[in-house]
Structure 1
Amino acid sequence: MADYGMHSAKCLASFHFTRDHVEAVVAKSALIIGSGPVGSTFARLLVGAGIDVTMIDAGGERSSEVGRHLRNETIYQHNPDRFTDVIRSSAMRISVPSSRRSESDSHINPDQDPATNLGASRAARAVGGMGIFWAGATPRTHPVVEHIPFVDGDELSRLYGVAEKLLHTTTSAYEMSVQGRVVTERLNEAGYQVRQLPLAVERLSVDPPRVHWSGPEIILKGGDRNAPSVADDPRFTLLPEHLCTALVHSGRQVTGAVVRDLATGAERTLVADTFVVACGSVLTPQLLWASGIRPDALGRYLCEQTMATCQVALSDDLASRLDDGPNVVEPNLWIPVAEGRPWHAQLHRGIFGYAAVPDGVDRRTVTDLVWFSTCDVRRENAVTFSDRVADPYGLPQPTFHFGANVADRARADDMVTDMAKAATALGKFLPGAEPAFLEAGFALHITGTTRMGADARESVVDPYAKVWGLDNLYLGGGGVIPAGVACNTTLTSMALAVRTAEAIAAG
């Protein structure tokens, strides 16, 4: 067997191996599978701790810098509607039942029951993952309603602070929006507590309005877009278009990762001291299942948010107070989760295609209202993986088994009533954009599928995200979150990844 253990990690990409060869990564090394915000958090912190990191992703590079948010292109700065098609064309639906064959170009899953599907759930395979498309919202969880067990409150606050710094989170980038001030005043008069939405973004200029959205590019730079990137560090290697098909394990150790170069079809096995899987809440448990790592809780306890939206044209008295000109800064507002109000609300112009502004309507007067409600944590809500049907990448096809209970439905109904109240305080619904639930899975905020816990029978990883029964395999992402939450999950996923990375670095 060839031994390349003395070569730097940077050199590894130049070697070509057959399936029977094993490639050794240098001492005190980590292999990170997945390059989204969570994988990039691990990379930034582990390289900073002196660990050699190889990061792989099944997707290719989409931008000039590793993990740069695609919305930073000038064409998308002034009209977020244009960015919707970029997202739709880049993220593939995870499970499409046979009944929807005619309306989808995605892979068909004959085992999927449409009634229990998260039909809008998608996965992005690209360097940077969903981090090159995401909306950038970074709220913290509510300490009671969205309590994250197994992490002390003060410790979680510290971890959030680290994650916020890595993302360059701010609440000031859109505070100059006149529309935002008008909407805030009216809703506060109606009894709401509206705030600026925490966003991973940097305001570059007001006139013309231009911002820089944080993707993994910013995380790899430690939160400063002008700082050096870990991507340029000699201890870091990125292998795009490399799919991990299985983790090789023996006893309590993962000994290697079988990786296929999608450009050439060649396979090889990468070896490291530590392995981190951060492929998302569905693709991470998929890889474990494909590898024969199948704890009883794998894929179970799945939570996904119920999501509703509507679109409002501001009333004449509010519209008369708006800016008049081409360089209008749009609002990005937030109504946080609260006790007695277990849903999270955002008011902005969305990029995920909730509803485009119709022709002939003044964009300045239009606000999207987007409300997210949590669901109860239940073991029977799950994603399972087939040993018979393969997905387009040859891995076990995921199938969703998800449903709402009575409490979930009542909570969702109360949420929509609350959203309609806020909307009518602002103006009138645009035709065809009245309050409506979106297709299940649209939120893309799945949690629980690789949940952390204190009991190996009811969780996949321990409180530091190490897989039960394996000493060198760690997981990251929303699947690790053991609670149902109503807010966006990226910041919490990154905060937990910070904790895990610190534990790995400490040995």
Structure 2
Amino acid sequence: MTRDFPAHVDVAVVGSGPCGAAYARILSEQRPDLDLATFETGPLLADPPGLHVKNITDDAERRRAQLRSQGPSPAPADGRLARPGTFLLADGYQNPGEDGLPNAAMSSNVGGMGAHWTAACPRPGDSERIPFVPGLDELLTEAEGLLGVDAHAFDDAPFAAEVRKRLAAALDAGRRDDRRVQPMPLAVRRHGDGRVTWSGADVVFGEETRANPRHTLFPEALVTRVLVEEGRAAGVVVRDLGDGSEHRIRADRVVVAADALRTPQLLWASGIRPPALGRYLNDQHQIVYAVRLRDVRIPSAGPGTGSGHGPDITRHSGVSWVPYTDDEPFHGQVMQLDASPVALTGDEAPAPGSIVGLGWFCPKDLRPDDRVAFDDTRQDAYGMPAMRIHYRLTDLDRARLDRARTAVQRAAEALGDPLDDTPRTLALGASLHYQGTVRMGTDNDGTSVCDSACEVWEVPGLHVAGNGVIPTATACNPTLTSVALAIAGARRIARTLPIQRH
């Protein structure tokens, strides 16, 4: 099959995840005169484009969608954590004498990782916040609207209030009101019959983008190079993965919204190589633990119970949040589970929702030497420069991990009886929250790739997007912040691109 690729668009967006979708949405709303094209390496999984796979009700069809997201030649897990819908970095993830990111993974599909994510959307706090972005709180609020964030979708989970009460008694002392234990804001929609649907890039695209006759989405279209002419972004080179044909598409603005590994890869392949490109790579190191709530009774079934099949989340599910603070530099995600993840002793069946999983996330000690590098002599499965991760934990990182273990044990003891002897530290890369590789900054001083509106230094007309733009050390889930920053970038394009007369 062949497709008709345009010779010219006003804005070319590379990547169809939540951040690429945010550019398409804002520009569709604010600049309906523009011709927009979104190029996605992976396949279209479902209708509407970008749908979260958990909203696919047929189990077999959902599994097929996950498998189709796992790249052209998925690497063997070799004992590493391989989540459905993602594929591990085949090699180069750990170098001799370094910690590396053994669980470094990506997704290739329309909607990107937004088709597979957990939908947690907490706001950053204290030093997680980016101090130089104008109107950050307004941008975060707009991002919550685009993602459909709801902090109260699971308020009727039978033990949710009790979980938060116990956590608050143990952890809230000395915290500001906005940093106390609270429900986790989630990008979900609660329906009248009790079902919950998860937001993917489809929600961010919205009808505003889908109804825009000037926006076109091209699945299975690999952008191999950003064109630069006279120092400005001038378009993209696209390989049609269906027939292998190559197309040069001119554009007045280019947005690269791949992920924190493939966005710098594309810039590198395009000869755009600022000193900070790929550097300051950071992951959120993760401690997990599980407990059984003590002194709770099985509630009777009532309104709000899900259908019990497919991807529904039942009324027993709930997610609580222990926010990051500079004094307690961790982000806690506390999830009630409908079944125990480990075998339980005794004859009594646990009450649904009484098994609670705790995940504590730690920020990285940021260093320029933590980086993803690219090899022009070797290629990955897509024919792009091969990646090699350089990554080490510092003494500060290890000290934070020790503190996090103590903190999660304290939280667990407040809730009930631990199911394991000690908390478990997941292998690095497990969070999938890679950041910093195209980070923003206030000055073109070699420590950042783009400015506060995500426009690349010294390459006017080229924007970058995604978690890689975040310059601070964060512990909270980064998607809300990265979508907020994408909104700022899209606004600049809408404001500065001349009116088009077609």
Q: TM-score, normalised by structure 2?
A: 0.86
Distance in structure 2 (CA, Å) of the matches to 1:483 and 1:102: 28
Name the SS for the 2:171 alignment partner: coil
Residue in structure 2 matched with residue 446 of structure 1 by the alignment: 434
Query: Structure 1 residues 300, 40: CA separation in 2 closer, same or farther (over 3 Å shift)?
Result: same
After TM superposition, list the pairs within 5 Å mapping 1:1-400 onto structure 2. 14-15=3-4, 23-26=6-9, 29-48=10-29, 49-50=31-32, 51-74=34-57, 90-91=69-70, 100=78, 108-109=90-91, 112-113=94-95, 115-142=98-125, 144-152=126-134, 155-192=135-172, 193-205=180-192, 209-221=194-206, 228-315=207-294, 317=295, 319-320=296-297, 322-323=299-300, 328-349=315-336, 356=341, 358=343, 362-400=351-389
8 Å contact 2:335–2:358 — kept in the other structure? Answer: yes
Mapped pair 1:427 → 2:407: no
SS at match of 1:273: strand
Amino acid at match of 2:297: S
CA contact (8 A) 1:466 1:474 kept: yes
In the superposition, relative to structure 1, how do residues 358 and 203 fare at CA in structure 2: closer, same or farther (>3 Å)?
farther
Q: Does the residue aligned with 2:159 lie in a helix, a strand or coil?
A: helix
Secondary structure at 2:353 match in 1: helix
Indicate the percent of aligned positions where both proteins have the same amino acid.
Answer: 36
Q: Which moved further from structure 2: 379-388 or 105-114? A: 105-114
Q: 1:401 to 1:168 in 2, by over 3 A?
A: same
2:447 alignment counterpart: 458
Distance 1:382 1:87 in 2: 28
Provide the C-alpha distance between the structure 2 equivalents of 1:374 and 1:356, rounded to a whole number of angstroms: 26
99-108 or 497-506, larger mean C-alpha shift: 99-108
1:31 alignment partner, SS class: strand
* Paired residue type of 1:45: I
Question: What is the Cα deviation at residue 93 of structure 1?
Answer: 12
Pick which of 85-94 and 357-366 moved more: 85-94
Is the Cα–Cα contact under 8 Å of residues 240 and 246 in structure 2 kept in the other structure?
yes
Give the direction of change, closer, same or farther, for the CA distance of 1:15–1:87 in structure 2 (3 Å limit): closer
Contact 2:88–2:106 (Cα < 8 Å) also in 1: no
Q: Give the corresponding residue for 2:175.
A: none
| Letter of the structure 1 residue corresponding to residue 55 of structure 2 | N
State how far apart, in whole Å, the 2-side matches of 1:168 and 1:393 are: 33
Quote the Cα distance in structure 1 between the aligned partners of 2:42 and 2:336. 28
Q: Is the 8 A contact 2:94 2:102 kept in 1?
A: no
Closer/same/farther in 2, CA of residues 64 and 496 from structure 1, 3 Å limit: same
The letter for the 2-side match of 1:151 is V
Question: How far off its partner does 1:502 sit?
Answer: 0.5
Name the amino acid aligned to 2:127. Answer: V
Unaligned runs of 5+ in 1: 1-12, 17-22, 77-81, 222-227
1:461 to partner: Cα distance: 0.8
Check whether the contact 1:95–1:119 (CA below 8 A) recurs between aligned residues: no
Equivalent residue number for residue 311 of structure 2: none
In structure 2, the CA distance between the partners of 1:86 and 1:412, relative to structure 1 (3 Å rule), is: farther
Q: Is the 8 A contact 2:93 2:389 kept in 1?
A: no
| Helix, strand or coil at the partner of 1:127 | coil
CA drift of 1:63 comes to 1.0
Structure 2 vs 1, CA of residues 402 and 160 (structure 1 numbering), >3 Å: closer, same or farther?
A: same
Alpha-carbon contact 1:304-1:375 (below 8 Å) kept: yes
Is the partner of 1:109 in helix, strand or coil?
coil
Q: How many residues align?
A: 465
